[in-house]
Structure 1
Amino acid sequence: MSAEIVPFDWARMLLGDAPPLFLLEIVFRTAVIFLWLVFLLRVTGKRGLAQLSPLELAIVIGLGSAAGDPMFYPEVPLLHAMLVLALVVALQRLLSHLVIRSEHVETFIEGLPVELVRDGVLRGEALQRANLSREDLFERLRAQGVRQLGEVQRAYFEQDGALSVFTHPHDPPPGLPVVPPWDLEPPRALPPGDPYRGPLACLGCGALRGAEASGQQDAGQLASTDPPVCTCGGDRWTPATTDPLTRD
């Protein structure tokens, strides 16, 4: 078989074995499938175009696979492809209806929101369930103008993959800095014996330790002379700050 192939046969490489007139058929096939796909997507409604939940991702993959082949494969009839596309959209509409009617179906298909931050403290198990790293979360928080974790009252990883952040409206408490990005400038970890006085933030989860964390007015003890172990298991601490960009 390989002996029959002529290397660098430009006619074979560009046109294949089909006659040149088949190019016009490809134009017609592409136009028909494209217009049919636009019509079906219009039927799915605006919600299907505005989000990319697992259900929407499934329909995108299904439509893309079913729409590509009939555009240029002559052995794939157009009516067969159009039927497949219509069935994919019909299944999507059915599942969307079930999602609206049944909370169990909605949970099975789209999952549940995950609380990632509560009162300035990261929730490690929640990050694992959301399949996010700490750096991924910090990147998303920076995109919403968050400078340090103390600003965040709650952060939820929604079902569609978006991050909803609720911050203190006024005078947020100090917290673990998320700017600058740690890959560029990691927070200063206090070594044992450092004479720093004041609130500290755990480098693992952002939990606070010190006078301001407990609501006291004095500076508290020398927090780093005997580094405590955080509830998350971390033992590395950094000065908590209300604004890491002003170095308060």
Structure 2
Amino acid sequence: MTPFDWQRILLDDFPLLFIAEVSMRALFAFAAVFAFLKISGRRGIRQLSVFELVIILTLGSAAGDVSFYEDVPLLPIIAVFVTLLGLYRFTVLLMTRSPRFGSWLEGKPVTIIRDGLYELHSLNRHDISADEFFMELRQQGVEHLGQVRLGILETDGDVSLFFHTPDQVRPGLSVLPPEHRPEFRQAPASDLYACSHCGFPQVLESQQEMNCPRCGHRCWCKALTHPRLH
């Protein structure tokens, strides 16, 4: 083998016209995945459940093979498409007939925030990344947890938020990035702080160290009280 053999790297032994065939195969693969999304009634990946995402990934894997490998014919990919579509339709039918089966397959919405505090059992059970969740909250205009009356993690990964009115906003844990949300084990000054793990607000005196009475963690951030700006 000759290193940096550009003929081998770029095209190997295939004729130049094979590039046109690859383009045609790629268009076919795109059309198959696009057709599945249209037929299934979904408008985008954000709406896909875990089950639907597995279906799309399986179809995408088959479509990827047919795009690049000259020895993979097109008709078997059509068979894969029909099989997956049939499986999808059959599973949706089962889910409409049996809510218990639907809950087992796709999961249930999970309450993450209630009255400005994290739901501890939800955090521990679902192993939710705080950084990603904080980013989701910031993108919906949330500055601290006290602004949120109810936060629900939907089965498709979206977060539904219901807010306190301005006069009902509570002191809450900041969801800003770490450089705007310093954490302390020892309070630098007498002030109102929020537990960095569960959001519980607590007045701490200067130089005081304290475990959170709600979750037992020892790190605190200064609690924010600003109302949400629409």
State if a TM-score over 0.5 links the two structures.
Answer: yes
Deviation for aligned residue 1:96: 2.1
Residue 162 of structure 1: aligned partner = 158
Contact 1:150 1:176 in 2 (8 A): yes
User: Structure 1: 5+ residue runs without aligned partners?
Assistant: 211-220
- Written as runs of structure 1 = structure 2, the 5 A alignment for 1:27-66 is 27-46=23-42, 51-66=47-62
Larger Rg: 1
**RMSD across aligned positions (CA):** 3.2
The answer to whether the Cα contact below 8 Å between 2:187 and 2:206 also exists between their aligned partners in 1 is no
Residues 11 and 224 of structure 1: CA distance in aligned 2, closer, same or farther (over 3 Å): closer
- Residue 194 of structure 2 corresponds to which residue in structure 1? 201
| 1: CA distance, partners of 2:201 / 2:112 | 17
Matched, 1:230 2:213: yes
What residue number does 2:105 align with? 109
What does residue range 71-82 of structure 1 map to in structure 2 within 5 Å? Answer: 71-82=67-78
Which residue does 1:132 correspond to in 2? 128
Q: Report the CA distance between 1:181 and its aligned residue.
A: 2.2
Displacement of 1:50: 5.6
Contact 2:137 2:175 in 1 (8 A): no
Q: Out of 5-14 and 55-64, give the one that drifted further.
A: 5-14
User: Are the aligned partners of 2:196 and 2:220 in contact in 1 as well (CA < 8 Å)?
Assistant: yes
Q: Does the CA-based 8 Å contact 1:148-1:174 persist in structure 2?
A: no
Q: Percent identity?
A: 36
Shift of 1:190: 5.5
Q: Deviations over 1:24-69 (max 9, x none)?
A: 4334433444434433332222367661210221122111111111
Aligned residues: 228
Quick check: 1:157–1:164 contact (8 Å CA) kept in 2?
yes
The 8 Å contact of residues 182 and 221 in structure 2, kept in 1 or not, is answered as no
The answer to whether the 8 Å contact 2:185/2:209 transfers is no
Match of 1:215 in 2: none
Q: Is residue 151–residue 168 contact of structure 1 (8 Å, CA) maintained in 2?
A: yes
